[in-house]
Structure formats: C-alpha cells, structure tokens
Chains A and B, each alone.
Chain A
C-alpha cells in the first residue's frame, strides 16, 4: 500500500485517505463554454509520470492535501508552484 505524507499526521497508509483526483482548475462559471466545463468535469490527463493530485485524509485529520505522485513508481513529493492549467 502506498504511504502518503500527511503534513498534519505524518506518513500514513493510503487506505486512510480518499483519492479526490488530479488537481484541476475550475473554470470561471460566468464565462465558461460547455466544451471547457465538461473537460473540467470529465477529462483527466492520466499521465504516466508525475501528476499533481488531491487526497483527503478521511481517517485522520480530515484535511485535503495536494501532492505530486509519480504514477509509475508511486514516489511522492511536495507540490511545487501553482496547479498547472490543463485546459
């Protein structure tokens, strides 16, 4: 089982967490188009490599956290910079 570094609780097994998904930017609801909005809702990059993801420490501190994970090796590291706009 993957071990995730919770900034509040320390390293914990992934079964304590809920996987929220790839971090993404919510388009401006006032000016968005159906294509852009549905890409935000349904499209994921599914990268083989480093991804930025959100996890929820459901069985722990109940904080949402963002981290970067390598989807091939499952290495985990602190996120750097802002969420990349994938639109």
Chain B
C-alpha cells in the first residue's frame, strides 16, 4: 500500500532530537517488501525514527542500529529480535493506546508513538534488572513458594508483583466514539479454506479453485509467499509465478495479515483479519466444506548460555531482515547451522557484506557453548573452546510443525527422531481436513507443489461430497404427515413453502458425486540432527523467562510430566504459546526423565492459534432495543426510562404515587405495548387453549375475554394473561411482557410436536398493535368520547368482554374490558401506526376529566393494592399453581392440560407455600421485596414477594409466599428485614388490599 509522502511528523512539546540515520539499511534487495519512495518517521521511546513503507516496527528500528526492544519477563534482561516475525517474543511493544503489539509484524505507521513495555524508568536502565542479579533466588515455582505464606499478606504481595507483570498500558481515558478502534464480524462459506499462503497453500488454493471450488486463502504475513519471499532468485521466480496463478484463477479470495485462530466442530473456523482499512480487526466465521492446512514450519531456537542476548537470531530472522527489509542484522557473524536454511543465511550475510567470521556446522559435530555479552553479543564460544569475537550469532537447528489446527481436528502429532520434529499423523484427520506443504514433510519445491496441487484437487472433491451430504441429509419435512395429508397441507401453508419446490426431500434422490479420490503423493522426510540444548543452560521460553535449569528443577521436585512441568514453570504459557519453545521443553523434560521424546509427548494445542483482542470477539457494538410508537412522546414528557428485557418503557413520569391516585380517583392511561399478543386462528384453537391453560375454555363465547394461567408439565406457573374470542375460529391471546417470545415458542411446541393434527395458525402480533390501558372511574366517560360503533354502557359492554371498534377515527381497534389495576378499565389495542395518534387523542379529549399518563411503577402499586400477582415476581421457578393463589382457577376435572398430574398431586398433598396478602403491623415499614418470613425467631417460613406503600390506604402492603400452616387470615409472622430487624405482619383475608369484592372493576 502506498502512502502519500509525509514530512516528518513533529508534535510540539515532545523531545525528538536528531532523527537517526538508517545506518544498517542495505542497497535495494531483489525481494524486498519495502517502498523506498514512501518515507516517514515514527516515534520510539520519545525519539523520532525514519522508516519506509512496508517496514515493520522492528525492521525500521533495526535499520537504525537499535538492538534492544524490551526487557524480559522475570529477570528484565535486555531483549532484541529473535524471529523478526509476528512470533518474536523480544519485540512486543505499545503503539499509541494499543498494548502488546507484535513489533516484528506490525507495520510502522507515520506519526505513531511506539514505546517499549514494562520498563522502568527506561529501556536502557531498568531497575528491575536487579532480578537478574539475584536470578538464582528466582527458581521455578519461586512465586508459589515465596508469596503463598503468610496468606493474609497476599494482597500486598499482589500489588507489588503487578508492577513486575508484562502487558502494556491501557489508557484510562475512553476515546471518543469516532477515535475508538472499530471491530466487526463477517460470515464466510467457502468450499475450501486454505490456512497458510506459502507455496503449498497457494498451489493448493489454485488447484482447488480450478476444480470448481470457492476458496478462501488465509495468510498470516502481509503478503502471500511464505519462505519463498526471503529466498534467492529461483524462489522469487517461483513466487511470482504462484502469485500470478492465484491472481488469475477465479474463485480465490485472499486474506493477508489474517490468521486462522481455531477449528471447531464441522470445520467451523474462526479467522482473524487484521489491518483492514475500515476496521481495526474483523473476525471471520467461516464454515468450510473442507480445510487444507498449509501452516509451514516454525524455526526453533537453540538452548545455550546467553541465547537471549540481543544479537542472537534465528536463520529465518536473519534472512527476513536482509531480504525482505534490506537490513543488515550485524557486522560480524558466527553462524551455527544444521540445515540448508542456515547455509543460506550464511550466504545471504556474506553477500550483503556481513563478515561471517565462522560457520559452526552441527552436521559435522559442531556445537555452541555460550554467548558472551549482556546488552549485545560480544563473542561466542563454540565446542572445542574456540571463541570468536562477533556481534551476531545466527542459529539454524531445526523446525517445529505448527500443527494446531490439525490437533484441533483430532490429530496427535508423533515424534519423528530422524527428522527431529513432531510430525502430524494425517491418517487421524477427519475427511474434511487435509494438510500439505512442509508441515507434512520435506522435499524440494517441485515435490511440495505436486503434493499441494493433488491436495487442493482432493480438497475440492471432498468439499463437493460434503455439499452433497448436506443437501441430502435433510430430514423429510413431514415425517408424521406424508405430503397431501391435511397436516402436511397445513404446515406448508403455514410457512408458505411447498416440499416440492424447497430444498428438502425433493433433492433426496440426487446422486453422490462420483469423482475418484485424487492420489496424493507422499512427501519425503529429510534427516535432521536432533539439536535442542547445548551443554550449557539457557532460556527455553523467551516470553516467560523459563530456563532449561528451571525445567530440570521442576522434574527434580517431582513434576514428572510435560503438562505438570508446564504448569509449574509456566513454560509455553506466554505470548508465544509454545510455538517456539514446545519441542525444546519436551526434549529437556524427556532428557531429565530419562525417556524418549515420543514417550514424553507434547502439550495440547488449543485455540486460539494467535492472540485475539476482545474487541474482535465482541464485534461491532450493537444492542437492539424495542420501543413502542409512543416512546418519543414519553421521553418528551419526562418519563424515567425502565429497561424491561429488550423494551425501554416509562417507569414513571416523576410522581408514581400521584399517578396511582389519578387512576383511583379520575382516569389514567398507560402504554402497555410490550404485552405479548398472539393471534390464533383455526377450528382447533379451543383445544389448544384447554391444553395450555389450567382453566376451562370450551365455553368461552364470542365477544368474551377470560384470564388464564399456563403451567409447565412440572406444575410450575409459566405465564398468565387474558385471551379474547373475537370470532368463531379467531382468538387474541395476551401474555406477560417478558414471556411474549417464550409463550409463542411454547404454544408452537405443543402444536408442532404433540398435536400436529390440530389446525391452529399462530401469528405473533405484539408489535402490530400499540396497546393502551385506560383505567379509572372516569375511563368509560373518556373512551366513549372517542369510540364509534360500540356502546360502552355496563350492560352492553360488561366486565371481561371484548369489542372491535373505531377509536379516534382508527378502524380495527380491539377493546378489552379488563382490570389489572383494579379499576374500571379498558385495554385498547390500536394498529401500531396509529398508537401515538390515539394516545394523544385520549389526553386531549380527557383534559377536563383530569386524565394523566401513568407508568409501570404506578401500575405495580395499583395491581398490588388489588392483589393481582405477577408471574416471575410473586412466583418463581418452583412455584406450582396452588402456591400462586390460583386454587379456584385450576380445573383438575379437565381430561388434560399441561401440568395436570403434578397439580393433582399438589392438591392432594396440600404441600408447598401459599400466596397471601400480608400487612405489616407498623404500616410505615415497607419490607424489601425478598425479605424472609421467620417463625419462632429462626425458621424461615416464606418470603415477601411484592411490597409497596399504598397511596390509597396510606400504609404498607405486601404479597408473600408463606408456609401453608401460616396462610390463614389473621396468622402472624415476623418479617426479617435486610438490616436484621424484624417487623410483625399479619396475613390478610384477601390477596386484595383494596376493593376485594371487585365493585370498582365491575362498575
């Protein structure tokens, strides 16, 4: 990506000094990934540094001669580059407000502020390095051993230790919305996903796409190519050819700077996409029909004394610096090599003018002993005692197969002593996971490309088989109802689909793809010397500062297994997560235990393969809310919002007690739109109602409304509400606001699984209507001014009746005469688009009657005065119907209803709590909801479920669940208040504290 050339960014007030020169920058290299026309500066620890476009933070700083980028975790030793890639444990830095950025991977950006992490007071002089001086006092398990006693002091220890922890700094200041990094998610459905965009990955992707597959090719680096990118001219030629093929082959989508984090059930793959222009990171959830793992190999560090001194590099790091970034990693080098990569590194260094003073060849018995130097390599001692003065030591001692994705798919890597690495056992992989490239075996480029080509074609073939299996595995749509029967016709009509035109049974006869499996050639496996640790001790885990001596100590102390040693020493538990250090860890533990590496085994690779931010997992910030059509009006009129599930609704308009008095004395209106509403049609609705409600429904006449309670089959109260019969085969059911979705599913489950023969069509209409309850002694007078076509007189429109009418000019409004508040009231369901119009019309028309809006809080008070219970508040997940004050409602003589057997037995035994009205004798005390009732001063015998001060009565009132023997009117109980005091209370005669006879309701 080219940037507009920028002048060096200088922010006022910050020290910049002179901009250092790129003294270690080489002349242009054939395969370099930098753009020399794009120059800019960025800030490193307060000083301005130059960089080219395409430079990583590490390459830009190295080009200016910087060698120390961090301090190590435990001993605070100076650390430089090791891998010069995303994995590099020595170059984890803070960039602006973002901590833990991989400096070996992240591109330098003009004007950004980069700092080293966790150094104090500075990178050059870090006081915590004193830990290194006392290193022999910080052995394995030091923290466990030292800080665990005495236990009360742990919080103090923790505060001190926190200062020593790695992890960067998050600004306490939350950036403005526009400046905040944005994250997103995406779903992808490729036929073949190729994890790894090196030569094998590219060849496999091309082969799969040519075979007709849609391919997603994911590469962790900033460009396709893998190790070819830092190779010689033959490699670069091959790379250009492969890139061309990827570019011209249709059906390949390439994601660079992206990494497959994990593989889950059914090839569900999470891919982290970084560095997009629009969002900081994006999580791609990909369902791949087949997966090709072409993860390449990771070069392994060597364990010897001083192996973490700045200037000790892996051969791949040296080649990347020279060939990708045109950076000279040092002046005088000693190369320790056991393979072609090390030889090539030595040749690269010589070519660009680094003096290679010595090549120590492990294939001929060579070995390293120790590096001398502290802030940088001064010299290295090799086997035999010779010491070479140098500032760069390059090691090439072997490879680790990053088999994470394969392990997540069921593979168990086995140790191949001849190749000196764990290799995946591809025979253990499921059919939809394949592997290719050097993660599987060795061979020259031709071998690898042939293997990848065959693997890609086979992946496409298997993807086609999977696609066929997905299409044909679909169950028949109407197992209980063959096509043409009444039930089948009903369900087809209900979903608007027909089996004949859908994706279901009609395709069941499709032939399986019959292409022959592709013959994938075997890859040769090259012999490689086994090199893990020299005769000296050094760092094994560079992130966690775990030495080989620590591992031996752990084994000595009885941790006789690699998983135990890992947990005790924290080896492999740092940011590199074992990718660099696992094989060395296993080898050293195996040696200490006197067993083979295969016997010792490896730790388990688990997702995520690479670090992922919580932002990427969370995705974009999105919290859907529901509003009634009147919500804006409420807000404009001072409503205090109440979050009720997904709904935002008015809790009150500033004076809940006054609102309640308005309803008792005049008339109030409340927005009850969230009440669940189900439109039920069909000849069998009455059967459905008889089944799901505990009470009786067969005799409900057209024009009538009835209250009903639903229980589950365990007898526990599930929901309640009123249902109206609008026509012979047409009902409107209401549910609690919070139960709207669950009741719909509940009703559908009984219809679809137990009674598919019943003819009932259920349509949720909760938001199709705006619902307004008009309550109070003057509600009839108010509503009669707006209603046309219906006489509201008590004889024509009695309590528990329903009418359809025109209200304020709006046709199709449904009026229920019910009374949750205990007052004469009408619930008006208005087609939602006219909700606000009718609401405002009621307020305008009723101004002279003193009409006021009231909120949920006033409604709660009013219903408590009336003794109406709320499911989920006055009942809980154990409350059966006879404990909820519903004795009169449950019709045990019905043949069946959901919960009938349990309720029959509850009725016979009379067990469980009872819901009662309760009045504290001291009417000024309102016991908190949830307060326990106690008997004999200690035994819990119930609890307060609802409590308020009644504005109508002027004293406190409650509903409570109380043990059956205390449930009779006049019984006295003690209420234990949260502050420990108790208050005496008496069980009232009725649940209702106001108007128990219902005179007001039936007015």
Contact = CB atoms under 8 A, between A and B. Distances in A.
Q: Do A and B bind each other?
A: yes
Given A34-B905, A41-B713, A78-B476, A5 B505 contact: no
B264 A1 contact: yes
B682 interface: no
A64 B748 contact: yes
A10 B474 contact: yes
B753 A13 contact: no
B290 to A, nearest CB: 13
Interface string A52-87: 001010100111111100000010111100000000
Contacts, number: 87
B749 A5 contact: no
B876 to A, nearest CB: 18
A11 B265 CA distance: 14
Interface size class of B (residues with CB under 8 A): 20 to 34
A29 B901 contact: yes
B266 A64 contact: no
B287 A29 contact: no
A61 B896 CA distance: 29
A8 B745 contact: no
A34 to B, nearest CB: 6
B741 to A, nearest CB: 9
B268, B475, B745, B749: most-surrounded residue (chain A CB, <10 A): B475
A32 interface: yes
A56 B287 CA distance: 21
A85 B287 CA distance: 36
A43 interface: no
Nearest to A41: B714
Given A7-B505, A10-B503, A66-B479, A37 B495 contact: no
Interface string B497-539: 1000011110000000000000000000000000000000000
Nearest to B504: A7
A39 interface: no
B475 A67 contact: yes
Contacts of B125: none
B479, B714, B896: most-surrounded residue (chain A CB, <10 A): B479
B784 interface: no
A8 B495 contact: yes
A56 B749 CA distance: 8
Interface string B467-479: 0001101111101
A6 B477 CA distance: 9
B470 A26 contact: no
A26, A64, A66, A74: most-surrounded residue (chain B CB, <10 A): A64
Contact of B266 (A32, A56, A67, A74): A74
A64 B753 contact: yes
Nearest to A65: B475
A8 B479 contact: no
A51 to B, nearest CB: 15
Contacts of B265: 1-2, 74
16 contacts: A1-B265, A5-B470, A5-B475, A7-B476, A8-B477, A10-B503, A11-B470, A11-B473, A11-B474, A26-B754, A30-B895, A34-B901, A56-B749, A63-B491, A64-B749, A66-B479
Interface of A: 1-3, 5-11, 13, 18, 20, 26, 29-30, 32, 34, 37, 40-41, 54, 56, 58, 61-67, 74, 76-79
Closest 7 CB pairs of A and B: A78-B475, A11-B470, A7-B477, A1-B268, A64-B752, A3-B266, A5-B474
Given A3-B287, A7-B477, A20-B749, 7 more contacts: A3-B266, A32-B901, A37-B901, A54-B753, A63-B491, A63-B495, A76-B473
